[in-house]
């Protein structure tokens, strides 16, 4: 198994093959048996992976969160009206994993629910900072996606 390394500061210099290697290393790290996931979830995971490999980090994060939510709904949802936060809290996952899922959820919310879209000076003044954070969070989201979908394995 290859060691999982961090992305460089500028992911645009990474090749798609290097990003596939990162995803494969995550699979090797977390998948020890077998899992069954819905086709909806599998489709979303493939889309999240494709976005990550292409360097579309915001799309990767948003799609990874959709994959996590879809998985949690398929595994234990008590109704279609549950929020993502409720699904996380009632997932039965270990506490550190739940905390990380909430960190990801809150980060995603800042991009999905922009309170003042015209207050964009921070983004315009320092886009590199936001791009680096998106890159970091995309890898974090890919890791959490796999930890979640591989949380109920069979041998």
Which of the two residues, 120 and 13, has the higher pLDDT score?
A: 120
Which of the two residues, 9 and 91, has the higher pLDDT score?
A: 91
Q: Residue 81: what pLDDT? A: 86
* pTM of the model as a whole: 0.88
Q: Domain-by-domain residue ranges, the chain? A: 11-149
- Which two three-digit tokens encode residue 29? 């790290």
pLDDT digits over 7-40, tens only? Answer: 444 555 589 999 999 999 999 999 999 999 999 9
| Spatial distance between the Cα atoms of 68 and 72, rounded to a whole number of angstroms | 6
Contact 76, 62 (CB under 8 A): no
pLDDT digits over 30-75, tens only? Answer: 999 999 999 999 999 999 999 999 999 999 999 999 999 999 999 9
């Amino acid at each position: 198994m290859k060691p999982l390394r961090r992305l460089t500061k500028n992911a645009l210099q990474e090749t798609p093959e290097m990003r596939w290697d990162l995803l494969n290393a995550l699979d090797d790290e977390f998948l020890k048996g077998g899992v069954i996931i819905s086709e909806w979830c599998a489709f979303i995971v493939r889309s999240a992976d494709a976005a990550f490999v292409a360097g579309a980090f915001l799309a990767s994060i948003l799609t990874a969160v959709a994959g996590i939510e879809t998985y949690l709904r398929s595994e234990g949802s008590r109704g279609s009206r549950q929020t993502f936060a409720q699904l996380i809290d009632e997932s039965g996952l270990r506490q550190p994993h739940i905390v990380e899922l909430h960190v990801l959820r809150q980060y995603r919310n800042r991009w999905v629910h922009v309170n003042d879209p015209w207050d964009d000076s921070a983004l315009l003044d320092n886009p590199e900072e936001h791009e680096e954070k998106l890159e970091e969070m995309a890898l974090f989201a890919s890791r959490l996606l796999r930890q979640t979908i591989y949380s109920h394995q069979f041998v």
